[in-house]
Structure 1
Amino acid sequence: MDEGIEVPEYFICPISLQIMKDPVTAITGITYDRESIEHWIFTNKNTTCPVTKQPLPIDSDLTPNHTLRRLIQAWCTQNAELGIDRIPTPKPPLTKTHVLKLLRDLNDPKLQHKSLMQLELLAAESQRNKKCLAEGGVPKAMILFIVNCHKKGQIEKGLEEALSILQFVKVPTEDVRVLLKENDQVLDSLTWVLTIDDGMENSVAVKSHAVLVLKKIIQKTHDSDTNNLHVLERLKPEIIERIVRILRHGVTQQGVGAALHVLLSACPWGRNRVIMVEAGLVFELVEIELGAPEKRITELTMAILFHLCSCANGRAKFLSHEGSIAVVTERILKVSLAVDDRAMFVLSLISKFSATNMVLQEMLKVGTVSKLCMVLQAGQAKYLKDQALEMLKAHSEVWKNSPCLADPSFYATLIR
């Protein structure tokens, strides 16, 4: 477009400062391009009008401004020779009627897969569509579709799409409550997806979607007033075991994060911790850390390790891995305060309850003792410094004269 062309001011969106393609008027009377104002409301969660600063509720109507759109299209056509692209007529917004039709098509085997693909495309298209699909009952329909696949014991066409839709669309809390009360097979069906090893295309993507859905459901039951369901307390061993099994190779990085979230949420119950330890979770967590994951993954693994090392079997499994003490030590003062907190607690538990001579020598060898000295000198919280000092004093007879220490005299000064 020629930079010298003067575009009428009322053709310009106040947010994007570009010519509007689909002008809509908010309840405040200001017209915006639909994509920009929906991003402002739904994605950024803003509840005020960008221009007037008046309240703009997230569920407020956006009225298509057809007259302005036709004026913009006519102006673009008139200036086409100057490099102005014609604005195409936008697709009509998704309606609840259209959503209900697509859901009815799910009952027809010939239309089922096509309907699921259309629903997935709509879910990925815009925030407005996500809201409309949620209000139309799509999340509940997708969960029931997955449950029915499990009941049949076969992989249906559309399973991946159904799981994908549940990533895009918010699952209403009430739907989760009702489904878990009426149908105990919801969690079983997701576990079943995680166990499928043959006959499924895009296995890693499908399992990643499944564990992300599981995380979403667990969060809903954990964050809302559904304590009477005791979902986390009564998680079947098969669910925990399967999540542990897919951690390293069965899911995407996003799936790993979701799996760790689920496991961490289940950690407060002793029977869950026992199952996790027996399933080999401690080993898997150390292996994940040895792969130098992103910050959020490290925060999750350290938090889970803290819970698992609170029991004797967990500490034994932790110490059976040659790299465990080294990798936990290495993370201190390098990732975040949350990691410092959990990692120090892990080392404290080992120091207090599992400090054999071999373990103490390992802590010297891999630099744990030196790192504890650094914690005392760093600007850490007092309780972390107290933990470090307690460990240093508890084993001073073993550590104080070790040649592994860069400055034994400094160590002696610290523990006086």
Structure 2
Amino acid sequence: MDEIEIPSYFLCPISLEIMKDPVTLSTGITYDRESIEKWLFSQNNNTCPVTKQVVMDSELIPNIILRRFIQSEALSILYNLHLSGSGLKSLLQNNIELIQSLTSVMQSGSYDSRVYAVMFLKSMFEVADPNQPISLRPEFFHELVDILNDQISRKVSKATLKVLIKVCPWEKNRIKAVEAGAVPLLIDLLLDSSDKRASELMLMALNLLCKCAEGRAELLNHSAGLAIVSKKILRVSSTANESGIRILHSISKFSATPGVLQEMLQIGAVAKLCLVLEVLEVFDRGSKTKERAREILKLHARAWRNSSCIPAPLLASYPS
């Protein structure tokens, strides 16, 4: 690999190391905070290292514009290096501070740096060991939710959804994502989504979040939660069908109050389950999705079987 030349504006004039926290002196020269503080306070110098002018005012002013620019450029370089899977896995396993830094960039970085932060996170988590739990801070999930809400671009939104899916098999992360407001946002985005892959990813994320009681409660508290999940089944793809049925299965098995069961009838979710049995009996007889739909209908047969809300042609599909 060719050696990468570090742009001069990355470097502190004193140490020639990459600046982490650029600050500007009263002389107008920018340094890395750690280096200039050591020069002025630890080494008792009173001049600007570059201009040699006496520093009358030792206040260090954060150079926010340069910091964001450096972050954006550095992330661009890192992302475009196209590190190997083993290299990315090593970064993830041995440098939790990197994730915290990327979280900070997502929070306060420029447009470009937020984009590169998400894309780089996606690359790292795609190669993460699925058997190794990854515990993340609450602010990580708040930033993912904010980026999804901002709708920067379809590519960035899909990358953000993939990150969310990769980190939510673990219950602690699921709860943090729910507390960050992921469930109602995903439902709102799903309501407006006409993109097949985006809809699949949103349903996959919702399925993971509905594995915890907090996630199911959030979905049921949303006026369109059950309705949009039911609507997407048989309208998007087999992947979406699987996730949608899994969500309804979690609700039916663990959160099925009389009110919830009645709502599922009224919005057509029960009829949709009967239709799934009818359609998949023809096109995918051994489908696990079909078997989950059958299990849901059997589970609440007493409440649903004789309901007038199920269209007569679909009653024949109701499992005995």
TM-score, length-scaled by structure 2:
0.74
Please give the root-mean-square deviation of Cα atoms over the aligned residues, in Å: 3.1
| Mapped partners of 1:108, 1:275: distance in 2 | 37
Displacement after TM superposition at 1:385 (Å)? 2.1
Q: Does 1:207 align with 2:114?
A: yes
**C-alpha contact (below 8 Å) 2:275/2:317 kept by paired residues:** no
**C-alpha contact (below 8 Å) 2:68/2:113 kept by paired residues:** no
Secondary structure of the residue aligned to 2:234 is coil
| Mapped partners of 1:313, 1:304: distance in 2 | 14
Residues 290-342 of structure 1, C-alpha deviations (whole Å, 9 max, x = no match): 11142222222222222211221111111001111111111111212111111
- Which residue in the other structure is 2:265 paired with? 364
> 5+ residue gaps in structure 1?
1-94, 111-143
How has the CA–CA distance of structure 1 residues 335 and 250 changed in structure 2, closer, same or farther, with 3 Å as cutoff? closer
**C-alpha contact (below 8 Å) 1:289/1:298 kept by paired residues:** yes
| Mapped partners of 2:303, 2:93: distance in 1 | 57
Displacement after TM superposition at 1:212 (Å)? 0.9
How has the CA–CA distance of structure 1 residues 413 and 213 changed in structure 2, closer, same or farther, with 3 Å as cutoff? closer
Matches within 5 A, 1:119-268: 154=64, 155-173=67-85, 175-176=87-88, 179=91, 183-196=95-108, 203-222=110-129, 230=132, 233-249=134-150, 251-268=152-169
Displacement after TM superposition at 1:188 (Å)? 1.4
Q: 1:221 is matched by which residue type in structure 2?
A: A
How has the CA–CA distance of structure 1 residues 385 and 176 changed in structure 2, closer, same or farther, with 3 Å as cutoff? closer
* Structure having the higher Rg: 1
Q: Does 1:330 align with 2:231?
A: yes
Percent identity reads 34
- Which residue in the other structure is 1:66 paired with? none
- Which residue in the other structure is 1:274 paired with? 175
Residues 174-230 of structure 1, C-alpha deviations (whole Å, 9 max, x = no match): 54455556654211111111111xxx6xx444322221111122224348xxx7xx5
TM-score, length-scaled by structure 1:
0.58
> 5+ residue gaps in structure 2?
23-31, 34-61
- Which residue in the other structure is 1:411 paired with? 315
Residues 343-372 of structure 1, C-alpha deviations (whole Å, 9 max, x = no match): 111101111121122212221222111111
| Mapped partners of 2:136, 2:193: distance in 1 | 30
- Which residue in the other structure is 1:103 paired with? 6
Q: 1:257 is matched by which residue type in structure 2?
A: K
How has the CA–CA distance of structure 1 residues 108 and 270 changed in structure 2, closer, same or farther, with 3 Å as cutoff? closer
Displacement after TM superposition at 1:414 (Å)? 2.9
The higher relative CO (CA closer than 8 Å, separation ≥ 6) is in 2
Residues 55-78 of structure 1, C-alpha deviations (whole Å, 9 max, x = no match): xxxxxxxxxxxxxxxxxxxxxxxx
| Mapped partners of 2:153, 2:164: distance in 1 | 16
Q: 2:309 is matched by which residue type in structure 1?
A: C
- Which residue in the other structure is 1:350 paired with? 251
Secondary structure of the residue aligned to 1:334 is coil
How has the CA–CA distance of structure 1 residues 376 and 178 changed in structure 2, closer, same or farther, with 3 Å as cutoff? closer
Q: 2:182 is matched by which residue type in structure 1?
A: L
| Mapped partners of 2:221, 2:315: distance in 1 | 28
Displacement after TM superposition at 1:373 (Å)? 1.3
Secondary structure of the residue aligned to 2:6 is helix
| Mapped partners of 1:402, 1:302: distance in 2 | 28
**C-alpha contact (below 8 Å) 2:220/2:226 kept by paired residues:** yes
Displacement after TM superposition at 1:410 (Å)? 4.4
**C-alpha contact (below 8 Å) 1:392/1:415 kept by paired residues:** yes
Residues 129-174 of structure 1, C-alpha deviations (whole Å, 9 max, x = no match): xxxxxxxxxxxxxxx969667x967424343333334443302445
2:195 pairs with 272, 276, 294, which one?
Answer: 294
**C-alpha contact (below 8 Å) 1:400/1:412 kept by paired residues:** no
1:396 pairs with 301, 306, 314, which one?
Answer: 301
- Which residue in the other structure is 2:292 paired with? 387
**C-alpha contact (below 8 Å) 2:142/2:177 kept by paired residues:** yes
| Mapped partners of 1:145, 1:302: distance in 2 | 42
Q: 2:106 is matched by which residue type in structure 1?
A: L
How has the CA–CA distance of structure 1 residues 321 and 146 changed in structure 2, closer, same or farther, with 3 Å as cutoff? farther
| Mapped partners of 2:192, 2:272: distance in 1 | 21
| Mapped partners of 1:163, 1:298: distance in 2 | 28
| Mapped partners of 2:319, 2:200: distance in 1 | 30
How has the CA–CA distance of structure 1 residues 189 and 293 changed in structure 2, closer, same or farther, with 3 Å as cutoff? farther
Secondary structure of the residue aligned to 2:189 is helix
Secondary structure of the residue aligned to 1:391 is helix
| Mapped partners of 2:252, 2:258: distance in 1 | 11
